[in-house]
A and B are shown apart, each in its own frame.
Chain A
Amino acid sequence: MLGQKRRCASRAMLAVPLMLLMAVTAGAQVHLNVSKAFGQKVIVAVPLFELEGGTIVDAAAARDVIEFDLGHSGYFSIVENREFVDETEIDDRISGRIAFQEWSALGAEILVKGKIGGDLSEVYVEATIYDLAQGKAIFGRRYVGSREQWRDAVHNISDDIVFKLTGETGIAKTKIAFVSAVTGSKEVYVMDYDGENRRRVTRQDAIAISPDWFPGAEELAYTLIRESRQECRRASISGSGERLTAFPGLNAFVSPSPRGDEMLMSLSKDGNPEIYRLRADGSDPRRLTFGRSTESSPCWSPDGRRVAFVSDRAGVPQIYVMGASGGTPRRVTLQGNYNTSPDWSPKGELIVYTSRISGTFQICTVDVETGETIRLTSGAGQKEDPSWARDGRHVVYSVKQGGKTDLYMIDIYELEPVRLTSGAGDYLSPAWSD
C-alpha cells in the first residue's frame, strides 16, 4: 500500500524514478510468462487514480493513459466494466485495505493503483502493481516532474509495468515524428506515440519531408526542399538545427545508423540516384551501389551490418538487401510490382514496407531470411511510410482516405489498426523513435 507519501525533493525531471517498493517476488526479473506473439493476455484492473493535493491533473485522464498504454501493448487487456472497478475501488478506500478477492472476481489478474498530485510547479504520479492471485504488491514507482509532464510520468509507469511483468521493452514513452502542412508549409512535428502532445519541430517555411530519428529520440534528420534545391538537415526537438548535406540533386531518404554515428541516403550527385553511406555530420559520402537503375529509401539492419533499399533494376521498384559496405544486393520482395519504403525491425529479420496490391497501397512485412510475406492492412485507403516501434511489434503508417491523411498504428500480431491522429490537416511520413 502506498501508505507513506515521499516527496521527491529534486525538481529534476523524470529521469530518475523513485522506487517505492522493491519487487516482492523473489529475485524474478520477469513476473509473468507472457508469450510474445499470440499468448493469452494478462487482465489488468486500473481503478481511478487517487488525487492528492490540489486537483492539478485530471485523475480520469491519467487512468485513460495507462489503460491505452497497457491495452495496446500487446500483453494486457483491461477489465472493461469500469462501474464494477470504481465500486471496488471505493470499497477499498473506505476499508483502507485491498480486497484482493473482489478484484479477482472481476476477472483481473493484475491491479494497478495509482495516485497523482502536486501543485502548479510540480506533479507526481505513483503507482503500485499487485499480483491478485498472490495478494501481494509486485512493485511500485513514483515519478516527479513539471505539470506539463504528467503524461510522461504515466507513460513511464506503463513501460515499467510492461518491463517488470514481461521482460519486454514497452513503447509508451516513445515519440512519433511526422510531417504536416497545417501552417501552409510542410514542417516536421513530434507527438507522443498515442497522438498527444503534438509540437512543431521545424520552422523552415518550405517543404520538409521524410524525417527519421537519431538514437535517443532527441534529434531528427530530414530533407528540406527549398528554392529548387534539396538539402538534408538535422533538427533537435528542442528547436535547434543545422544543414548536413546539400549535394547537387537528390539529398533524400536519410536514415541514421543504429549507433547514430553514420547515415544512409540517396544522392544523385554522380548522375544517378544511388545509395551512399556518410558520417552523421554529412561528410565523407561513400557510394554503395553502382548501376543505372534508381536506388532509393535505404535503411539499416538493427546490427548496422546490412542495408535494405529500393531499386528498380528489375524494371519496377522492389526491396533489396546488401552489406552495409555494399556488395551484390539480394532481392527480398518477390511478390507484387511496386514495393517501396522499407523499414527494418529493430528486433530481427522482418522488413515492413508499402506494397501496391490491386491498385491500393497496403503495409506488408517480409522475412529477410525466409522470404515469407505477411500483409498487415486491408481495405480502402492508401497506406504508406511504415515505421517500426522499438518493440518490433508495432508499426505506424499513414492512411489517405477521403482526401485526408492520418496516422495509424498496428500490432503485427493482432492486425487491428488504431488511429492516432484526428482533427484538421494531414499527417504524413511517420517515424517512430527508439
Chain B
Amino acid sequence: MHMPSSAPGMPGAPHTSHEPVIAVRDLCFAYGDEPVLDHVDLTVERGEFLAVLGPNGGGKTTLLKLLLGLLTPRSGSVTLFDGAPKAALPRIGYVPQYSTARLDFPVTVLDVVLMGLAGTRRGLLGRHWSRDAASIDRAREALEQVGLSGMEKRMVGELSGGQRQRAVVARALMAQPELLLLDEPTASIDPQGSFCFFEFLGTLRGPHTLVVVSHDLSIATSTFSNVAFVNRTLVHSRGAGLTPEMLTMLYGHHEKTCPMGAFISSVSGLFPVLPRMDELPPVATTAPSGSLVSADATPSPAAPSPAAKDA
C-alpha cells in the first residue's frame, strides 16, 4: 500500500514534528453487512490539530472508537504511538459526546475532573485514584486551564452546556495525555459558544496532539492544521481551509437556489482569511478504489462516496 507523503505543516504551526502519533493503514470497518469505513488511511503527527468533518452516519465516531481500540477493524491496522490502541489508552485523553454523561448525577465539578485519573490502575476493586491534596491541586489547575476556576464546588448539572464541555476537557487533561480525542464537542453548545470553544481548543495545541470530530462548521474558525473528511471514505488534507468542493462532499449537491447550495457557493467568501485548499501542497488522500488522488485534483469534487445511511 502507499504511504501518505508528509507535507510541511502550516507556517508557524507550533511544535509540529514528523513523529507519527496516529497511523491508520488501509482500514475497513462494517457494522454487520453495512460498510462504515472503506480502505481508510490517515497519519497524524505530533502537535497537529486534525479536524475530522463529515455528515452524521458518515463514520466519524466509528473512526474515533477504532482509534481508542473500542472497536476492532475488519481489515487494516491502527497504530498509536507505534503500538496497539489499547496499549496507548493511558496516553490518550478522550472527550466523549456529552450526551453519554448523566446531567442529573450527584457529582461536583471537582469530582468529575478527578475521574480523569481513573485507569492508571486496572481492576474492578480498589481505588483508581486518590483524593489527596496533590490530586485536588492538579484538578484545580486543569479547571483553570479550561477557564473554570472557582467552579469546582458546583454540581455538574448547574453548569451551562459550554462549561460542562470544558469540565470534561479538564477531566481528559488530568491524565496529562499526549493525544486528545474529542467527539462532537460542540453538540450541546449554542453557536456563539461553539466558536469560543473551538478557539479554546486551539490554545491546547502544542503540548497536545488534537483530533476533533465535528459536523459543526464553526470549527472552520479554529486553528486546525489538517482536515479529514469522512463519509465512508476519508480524504485528508494538510492545511486549514474549507472550499465549496469540501462542503459538497460533506453535504451533497444542492441547487444554487437551495439555501444550502447558496451557502456552499458563498463559503469561500465567508472565511476569507483561510487559505484555499487548492493553494496548499497536495497530500495523499484515499478514494474507494484505494488509488492516490491529490487534493487539488478539482474542479470536479472528489468522488462523492455512496451516501452512507444514517447510523
User: Do the two shown chains form a genuine complex with each other?
Assistant: no
